[in-house]
């Protein structure tokens, strides 16, 4: 008999939810399910705690309300109610079986059969359940072994599972990145390759969410190579991904946006369009666009690093540096960004006005001329007044 004993199992919030359900339907009416059980077997902290139950949604709401717990109907048509207990959200879903699917959405019917619920799940390692006592149930008979062996294997026929929901193609590679060891399961990989065009039917938001989760894995390179070989990665990214560069960048940064940037070419226009196509947040695609430049430092390295940081900002400089094949330049920029804060321009419009320049376009021209020389000279703190006077003279001398 396999048991788990994670911290969330004895958490007052989760205990209150399980007690409320048991009061309504008996001790065997609810079990923890999926990722939280899998992660507990691996000794990992679960991000979310989910529960499966024989109770129907209306009964779940009644049970929670009777116990004084908040019930939120987050997906009640598909059997899901979210309980909020002592600040902890717990997603509770009625046992289900699929009635009809179209590759994106499923029509479900409720059931009281744990094995039937397990049979509709994607992978054995996600088809695991645990009682409130921590006793683990493995209806497919393969879930525990697959978790411990690092195997990501579809429940039942892989082609059928993918036909039910094309998102499972991306989930196959995402779960392999996080939990897989060795080579991807051959039958599952072949099914993903055969149905790769199904990715085109998924929404941009679902594509980007899965990619960000995949790229957040400790080492996503092997999963991405398999994804590329199956013809899936190009469909997500809009062109073949540079997995070799990603493999070099991944150990240096766990930031999924830096890793995504490494997969794309150093072409700001393409990257901006691709990021918008994936409907990434504006701040994310703007960051990716700024990072899509090959790092090039001219002259003395530290001086050039300061200039780059001043001109593009520390975040963009770091993003460019992390992707750079020039390790010396890269390390110089990263070290400088960690210890140096760009100074503010030491002069402003009032300083220019005191030198007899009227407010208007000339003021901007003087400040631009001053800044250009000040940056080129490595941000000197002395002789500021003299430099500003020289900038005024240059601007006046350039007038017709």
pLDDT single digits (tens) 194-231: 999 999 999 999 999 999 999 999 999 999 999 999 99
In a domain, 277, yes or no: no
Residues 12 and 140 in one domain: yes
pLDDT at 74: 83
- How do residues 327-351 score in pLDDT, each as one tens digit? 999 999 999 999 999 999 999 999 9
**81 and 177 fall within a common domain:** no
Rounded CA-CA distance 34/51 in Å is: 8
* Distance separating alpha carbons of residues 293 and 288, to the nearest angstrom: 10
Regarding whether 33 and 100 lie in a shared domain, the answer is yes
Total domains, the chain: 4
Confirm whether 40 is domain-assigned: yes
The chain-wide mean pLDDT, for the chain, equals 93
Within a domain: residue 344?
no
Q: Are 6 and 45 part of one and the same domain?
A: yes
Q: Tens digits of per-residue pLDDT, 297-337?
A: 988 999 999 999 999 999 999 999 999 999 999 999 999 99
Cβ proximity of 241 and 263 under 8 Å: yes
Q: Please tell me whether residues 36 and 123 are part of one structural domain.
A: yes
Q: Is the pLDDT of residue 277 over 80?
A: yes
Average pLDDT over residues 261-266: 96
pLDDT at 393 over 70: yes
Residue 280 domain-assigned (yes or no): no
Q: Tell me whether strands 30-33 and 70-75 are parallel, antiparallel or unpaired.
A: unpaired
Q: Is residue 268 part of a domain?
A: no
- Together in a domain, 113 and 20: yes
Confirm if 215 and 207 have CB atoms less than 8 A apart.
Answer: no
Let me know whether 143 and 158 are in one domain. Answer: no
* d(C-alpha 370, C-alpha 385), whole Å: 10
Termini Cα distance of the chain: 91
Task: Report d(CA 195, CA 103) in Å as an integer.
Answer: 11
Can you tell me the mean pLDDT for 262-266?
95
Interval 14-22 mean pLDDT: 96
CATH number for the domain harbouring residue 168: 1.10.3090.10
**Same domain membership, residue 116 and residue 241:** no
Decide if 274 is inside a domain: no
Q: Is residue 304 part of a domain?
A: yes
**Residue range 39-43: mean pLDDT, rounded:** 96
- Mean pLDDT lowest for which of 254-258, 277-281, 352-356? 352-356
Q: Which of 146-155, 327-336, 356-365 has the lowest mean pLDDT?
A: 356-365
Which residue range forms the structural domain that includes residue 143? 1-149
Query: Do 88 and 196 share a domain, yes or no?
Result: no
Q: Are residues 82 and 193 in the same domain?
A: no
Say whether both 93 and 141 belong to one domain. yes
């Amino acid at each position: 008999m396999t048991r788990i004993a994670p911290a969330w199992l004895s958490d007052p919030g989760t205990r209150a939810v399980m007690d409320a359900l048991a009061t309504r339907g008996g001790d065997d009416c609810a079990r923890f399910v999926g990722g939280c059980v899998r992660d507990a077997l691996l000794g990992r902290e679960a991000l979310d705690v989910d529960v499966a139950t024989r109770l129907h949604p209306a009964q779940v709401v009644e049970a929670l309300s009777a116990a004084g717990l908040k019930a939120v109907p987050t997906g009640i048509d598909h059997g899901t109610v979210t309980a909020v207990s002592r600040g902890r959200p717990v997603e509770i879903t009625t046992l289900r079986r699929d009635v009809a699917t179209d590759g994106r959405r499923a029509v479900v019917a409720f059931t009281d059969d744990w094995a039937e619920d397990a049979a509709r799940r994607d992978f054995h390692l996600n088809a695991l359940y645990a009682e409130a006592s921590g006793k683990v149930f493995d209806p497919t008979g393969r879930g525990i072994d697959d978790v411990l062996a690092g195997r990501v294997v579809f429940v039942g026929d892989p082609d059928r599972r993918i036909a039910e929901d094309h998102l499972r193609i991306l989930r196959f590679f995402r779960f392999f990145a996080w939990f897989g060891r060795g080579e991807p399961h051959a039958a599952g990989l072949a099914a993903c390759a055969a149905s790769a065009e199904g990715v085109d039917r998924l929404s941009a938001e679902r594509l980007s969410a899965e990619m960000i989760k995949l790229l957040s894995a400790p080492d996503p390179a092997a999963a991405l190579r398999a994804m590329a070989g199956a013809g899936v990665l190009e469909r997500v990214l809009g062109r073949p991904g540079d997995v070799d560069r990603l493999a070099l960048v991944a150990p240096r940064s766990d930031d999924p946006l830096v890793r995504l940037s490494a997969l794309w070419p150093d072409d700001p226009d393409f990257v901006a369009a691709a990021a918008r196509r994936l409907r990434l947040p504006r701040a994310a695609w703007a960051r990716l666009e700024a990072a899509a430049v090959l790092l090039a430092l001219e002259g003395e390295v530290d001086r050039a690093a300061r200039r780059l940081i001043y001109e593009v900002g520390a975040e963009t400089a770091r993003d460019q540096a992390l992707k750079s094949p020039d390790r010396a330049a890269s390390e110089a920029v990263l070290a400088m960004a960690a210890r140096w804060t760009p100074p503010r321009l030491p002069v402003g419009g009032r300083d220019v006005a005191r030198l007899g320049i009227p407010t208007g376009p000339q003021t901007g021209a003087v400040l631009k001329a001053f800044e250009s020389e000040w940056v080129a000279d490595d941000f000197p703190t002395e002789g500021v007044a003299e430099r500003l006077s020289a900038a005024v003279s240059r601007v006046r001398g350039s007038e017709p």
